[in-house]
Chains A and B, each alone.
Chain A
Amino acid sequence: MGEENEAGDVASSADAAVTITGVTKRFGDVVAVDNVNLEIADGEFFAMLGPSGCGKTTTLRMIAGLEFPTEGSLKIFGDEVGTLPPNKRPVNTVFQNYALFPHMNVLDNVAFGLKMQGASKSEAASAASEMISLVQLGGMEKRKPSQLSGGQQQRVALARALVNKPKVLLLDEPLGALDLKLRQEMQTELKSLQRELGVSFVFVTHDQEEALTMSDRIAVMHEGKLLQVGSAEELYDRPVNRFVADFIGQTNLIDATVADADMIVLANGTKIMAPNPHLAGTKVAMSLRPESISIGASDDIPEEFQATSLQGEVSNVVYLGHSHVYTVEVDWMPLEVRTNATPTSQVYKPGSQVAIWWDRRSDWVVPDEGFSS
């Protein structure tokens, strides 16, 4: 698997909703988006994930036409839109903090796009009311945005975009301003709305849980580069580098050197079985998810896991109801281990000497490039 041009290898199909080829965006000397290749399928719920400043919002704004690429090609359903202004593109955006027009009521907000496209007042109003009912705001038509709650404003923003029947709906951190409970509700609702309409949703977030919950596919971006595109499972189980491994979920990243195609050597000289495609001597990192690790007494390691085990000392244990989270100090670093807690499970107190082991299919070796957050 290559790194940033992985998505570029995908054969370009004409019916893709959005095709981004070699797109770079510079603001003066700053490279906000660096040679991104990306294809978003029709009807897909697609997330762009990354820490702030990674270029995900700039990429979204380029699809919307609010920024133009410095280099590269950007197509929407096969049509080049590179420098087309936003009002000439068949996409609509749900803005961060909604950007509802404060001097217009809900109905006028939602009808705005239709009116601008030349619909008559009554056509626009009836289509708008229909969409307002769809997002469950019937009866609120005459209210001003300032008279609505955050969740209601969010729905108006959705209705205002969707009423235009966009070919692609762009959402910029749409749930960022909502509190946790409302956010979870809206996640489910957005997902079912997307299924119902069958339109591609392209959605930007810095919240990996949100991305994992809602999306069919996720693009992870960092410092303007597209690191990996894939399903939640692919990103979680087979991250392409250190940054993705660290950014998606929680993981132990253990520095190592490749011995051969099956073995790596850890910092203290321990050899661990870890199949990998790298040359002997390559610096790598092994990603080991806390929940993939088992814990037991020092002499208790099952035979088949001898080659994927380490000795250590428990330095801390936290009980979370459904699980115990151990911090196990191996020779040179602490590792996090998460075990299911059942009434019969053995609990190791801080200070206990323990062994930890894992299935060799659950470790994952990534090149030691990239970044750790």
Chain B
Amino acid sequence: MSTTQKELRGASRWALSLNAVLVYAFFYAPIALLVLYSFSDDDLVGRWGGFTLDWYRAFGQNDEVQNALGVSVRVAIISTLISVVLGTMAALALERFRFRGQRVFDALLYLPVIVPDVTMAVMMLLFFTQGISLLDSIFGIQLSKGIATVALSHIAFSISFVSIVVRARLSGMNEKLEEAAQDLYASKWQTFRHITLPLIAPGVIGGGLLALTLSLDDVVITQFVAGPGSTTLPVYVFGLIRRGVSPLINAVSVVMLAASILLVLLSSLAQRARGGQAT
């Protein structure tokens, strides 16, 4: 009996290992292919023509790519900074205060996480179109879609993610610590600066890096609300595909992939840092 059990266990272990290998292959084979072909010296995207760094060189020299990259970075930094501040404030309000309609606020804050990108994009487009024409008709202010509208849209969805991450950190923090600080003559602001902020910093940094990643990666919403001159890198890549594919796409994609992985890694490291000390 014990032999059959052992055999069974051996068999299931083998099957599980195979499963794991297949799953990982499914995940990572495309990535491996992408990276591999980004070094391929051939004008066709999927044909190996020997090793080259030309595509990365092209990435560095192509003005359109550089412009798009610049827009991406600017939008990402602006939207991250603003959404970190607003998201942290929202998290503090929801976690530390009790007020009328709190549950509704709570649910509404997380809406952008579940609303489909396309829906969000259409909403944003409608909002900006209406808003811009309203401003024009009332105040005579002439605005058009551009970096500002892209950044605003990114802020709109990033706030939710930031506040989720910061709240998780806040809820793990002992509120008594803030009371203790006030008991020890700290004002509200000093309490926040010396006690709350250092203790939730990993969450704030983690949330910020998440916002940065989301902003750098977004295609759908950005494409709807971007105007001339505010094309971000992912939107540019998307456009490249429609115009005819060149292996340049591979190189750009690899760079974006690397940046994303790096940010997510940093984000999870930041959230883990001092993880045991929140109480």
Contacts and interface: CB of A to CB of B under 8 A. Distances in A.
Interface of A: 64-66, 85-87, 91-93, 95-97, 99-103, 112-113, 116-117, 144, 146, 160-161, 164
Contacts of A92: 183-184
Which of B186, B198, B276, B278 gathers most chain A CB within 10 Å?
B186
User: What are the 8 A-B residue pairs with the smallest beta carbon separation, nearest first?
Assistant: A113-B184, A99-B176, A99-B180, A116-B185, A102-B277, A86-B182, A116-B186, A87-B185
B195 interface: yes
A320 to B, nearest CB: 40
Given A87-B186, A103-B199, 15 more contacts: A64-B183, A66-B179, A87-B182, A87-B184, A92-B183, A93-B180, A99-B176, A101-B177, A102-B177, A103-B198, A103-B277, A112-B184, A112-B186, A116-B187, A116-B190
A112 B177 CA distance: 12
Nearest to B201: A103
B102 interface: no
Interface in B247-279: 274, 276-279
A101 B185 contact: no
A289 B276 CA distance: 50
A100 B190 CA distance: 16
Contacts of A86: 179, 182-183
Given A101-B177, A103-B274, A87 B183 contact: yes
15 contacts: A86-B179, A87-B186, A87-B187, A95-B179, A96-B176, A99-B174, A100-B180, A101-B181, A102-B199, A103-B274, A112-B184, A113-B184, A116-B190, A161-B184, A164-B185
A214 B167 CA distance: 42
Interface residues of B, number: 22
Contacts of A65: 182-183
Contacts of B195: 101
Nearest to A102: B277
Contacts of B187: 87, 116
A3 B181 CA distance: 37
A146 B187 CA distance: 26
Contacts of A160: 184
Which of B177, B182, B185, B186 gathers most chain A CB within 10 Å?
B185
Contacts of A100: 180
Contacts of A95: 176, 179-180, 183
Nearest to B277: A102
Contact of B277 (A91, A112, A113, A146): A146
Contacts of B183: 64-66, 86-87, 91-93, 95, 161
Contacts of A103: 198-199, 274, 277
A42 B185 CA distance: 22
B199 A85 contact: no
Contacts of B190: 116
A8 to B, nearest CB: 28
B95 to A, nearest CB: 17
A297 B279 CA distance: 62
A99 B185 contact: no
A101 B278 contact: no
Contacts of B174: 97, 99
A173 to B, nearest CB: 12
A92 B278 CA distance: 23
A102 B278 contact: yes
B185 A117 contact: yes
A235 B279 CA distance: 39
Given A87-B186, A97-B176, A103-B274, A112 B181 contact: yes
A103 B198 CA distance: 8
A191 B235 CA distance: 72
